[in-house]
Amino acid sequence: MTGVAVVTAALASCGAAGAADPVRDALKDLMPTRVIGGEVAPQGQWPWQVLVFSYVQLDGDKTGIGRCGGSVIAPRWVLTAAHCLPPADKKSLLGIIEQDRIASFLEIQKALREGRLDSKDFDLVDRRYAHPGYNHDDRQEFDIALLRVERDLQSSAPVTPLLAPDSELEEPPVMATVTGWGNTREATPDGTDPVTHQKLRPDQYVPDHLMQVELPLVSTAQCRAVYQKAGATGVIDGRNLCAGIQEGGKDSCQGDSGGPLVARDARGWKQIGVVSWGAGCAKPGFPGIYTRVSAFADWIQTTVANDAGALAPQPAPAPTPAPAPAPSPAPVDNNVAGLEISFEKGDTVRAGQLVRYRVTTRKSGYLLILDVQPDTKFREMFQGRLSVEREGAANTVTVPGPATTAPTERQPVVLIDGPAGSGVMVALLSDKPLNVGDLRSGPKVFQTEKAALEELGGLRRQLRGLGPENPAQTPDAPVAPSKPPYSFVVKEYRVTP
């Protein structure tokens, strides 16, 4: 989910959640994602958001470059994530860039990469304070830091950090907003698509403008249970907040780390969280994880104590209104066909069983059913042209099962090979057929991880070719999203012995 795009291992993305399966992740990552699933932030809406960047001197002449988000909480103080700071044993430079100095973020990104950022474009950080408990390990604890700049930041308006627990701002079903210039899709630090392994142009995954996305808070207990089940090593407890939607598609991502998660009460906006870590970006079922600001109130106040009145309680200033902004585009709907998958006898199935399932859709098109069982083998289950009786109405898809397993049934079936564990089934409904070979005689099983990833990479390239993704948009000329060329739904199930 989150992290800093750099060339050093110490500053690399914290996106891995532990025991992730590459094939299962690649299957879920067929879903197109767009901060992900968000929209361009109106000018002046979030006046405390800043960019934090670092240059790190490595061995020889090599230099690592990191970028993160941050929030101004006092004229000379910026709140960010501890993992955004270079390790203490590395010679480094840290700077803050205010929003009014970022006419084009892609240009700033290019200048950072080429090491030609002009000193007049940023404010130098003269003191940096990672929480003393942070340890650069996989536990992700104490991921919070404060940066002090050499002089007052001129054009940013501070946000009020939440320095006392408040259930009205920190508990579900509160809606919170995260902002940043992070990736709009997952990419490796060198700009490669992790599924197709193709090199991406910067404008394919880096936004040119500040982005925003609204997310519901998720209970810490529920969040912890999901990550523990996935084998994550990061600690999730009362020092964290979690936010996201079950179906995925909306999240913060690499480059958003350290940025603010804010919620609003009657007195104005409060910063309740700091972007910290998660399982990739916008994956279904995995909320993003944020450092809870109120849990570190004492440390924040003590650290800035030498600046008299720096954090005097006061409501955050009202956001500067943009002059008659055009409406921002709505997030892309990845399931306009209303696809659903359900198992006949529930989501827990037994190894060795022949299990019937249903797929429903409101649109005609070409259906493709994909599956990864606990044995990690990838299967292409079915592809065929479907027509529904009435567009917009839910229709059950009935297709012939393989003759060897269901000679008389016309309802989809899957043979559960085992072993025990979790499985993932995906249904895709596209406007045009996808090239996956002949599945009339039964499922196609890929025996190796390499073969499965190659097939999924090819599928992803085909899906992108079906129709244009959202055209570029700016605050002055927002563009309504194009109609997605396919629909996508994920079904997770459990296999018992």
CA distances 121 to 96, 137, 269, Å, are 9, 33, 28
In one letter, which amino acid is 488? F
Chain-centroid distance of CA 59 in Å reads 32
> What's the confidence (pLDDT) of residue 486?
78
Sign of CA dihedral 428, 431, 434, 437: positive
Rounded CA separation 255/264 (Å) = 24
Boundaries of CATH 2.60.40 in the chain?
Answer: 340-496
Cβ atoms of residues 184 and 205 within 8 Å: yes
* Max avg pLDDT among 263-277, 321-335, 354-368, 446-460: 263-277
Rounded CA separation 47/260 (Å) = 11
The CATH architecture to which 340-496 belongs is Sandwich (2.60)
Query: Is residue 361 helix, strand or coil?
Result: strand
Q: Out of 3.40.50.150, 2.40.10.10, 1.10.1040.10, 3.40.50.2300, which CATH number does the structure's domain 9-303 have? A: 2.40.10.10
Cβ atoms of residues 412 and 382 within 8 Å: yes
| H or E element in which residue 452 lies | helix 449-465
> What's the confidence (pLDDT) of residue 206?
82
Q: What percent of the chain has pLDDT over 70?
A: 75
**Active site positions, annotated:** 83, 143, 257
Question: pLDDT band at 141, cuts 50/70/90?
Answer: very high
- When comparing pLDDT for 396 and 274, which is higher? 274
> How does DSSP classify residue 440?
T
pLDDT of residue 342 exceeding 90? no
Boundaries of CATH 2.40.10.10 in the chain?
Answer: 9-303
> What's the confidence (pLDDT) of residue 484?
52
Cβ atoms of residues 6 and 175 within 8 Å: no
pTM above threshold 0.75? no
Report pLDDT digits (tens) over 450-459: 888 888 878 8
Rounded CA separation 70/156 (Å) = 11
In one letter, which amino acid is 279? A
**DSSP, residue by residue, 191-243:** SB-TTT-PBPPGGGTS-SS-EEEEEEEE-HHHHHHHHHHTT--S--STTEEEE
* Range name among 11-20, 97-106, 174-183, 353-362 with the lowest pLDDT average: 11-20
